[in-house]
Amino acid sequence: MSLIEQIQKDITTAMKARDEQRLSTLRMVKTALKNREIEKMAALDDKEAQQVLSTLIKQRKESIEQFLKGGRKEMADKEAAEIVLIETYLPKAAGEEQIVAGRFGQVSFDQHDLGGFLVRHFLAPAFEELLN
């Protein structure tokens, strides 16, 4: 099921549950996606839909800053709740541990391998420049 279809399904669920806050946010998301689809003059794929959602989150974060500066905590809380809802439709971001494990998990050097690597890639070119 595509992201846009999932949002439409969740709108229906929110209508049945009479969840006004969720319904309002989902309608706003659907409208933003539809506007982008009209601008593009073609259907959006999931990646493009995620970009629209990321833009909406960024706008909400900027709004929160402005509301807090203006002393409107209740409006900032509303925007924060919208961010939480929109983020549920985005893929989970990898944590630092996952990034490190993905980057260095495949590489295992013992002391001699690392020394050889450093000599080949750093010292050898430097010595060649000195000798030439």
Spell out the domain ranges in the chain. 1-93, 94-132
Q: Which two tokens stand for residue 100?
A: 């490190």
What CATH class does 1-93 carry?
Answer: mainly alpha
Helix 73-87 to helix 46-69 angle (10° resolution) is 160
What are the pLDDT digits (tens) for 53-93? 999 999 999 999 999 999 999 999 999 999 999 999 888 76
C-beta of residue 91 within 8 angstroms of C-beta of residue 3: no
CA-wise closest residue to 56 among 75, 39, 77, 31: 31
- What is the per-residue pLDDT for 116? 67
pTM of this prediction?
A: 0.67
Residue 96, exposed/middle/buried by CB under 10 A (0-12, 13-18, 19+)?
A: exposed
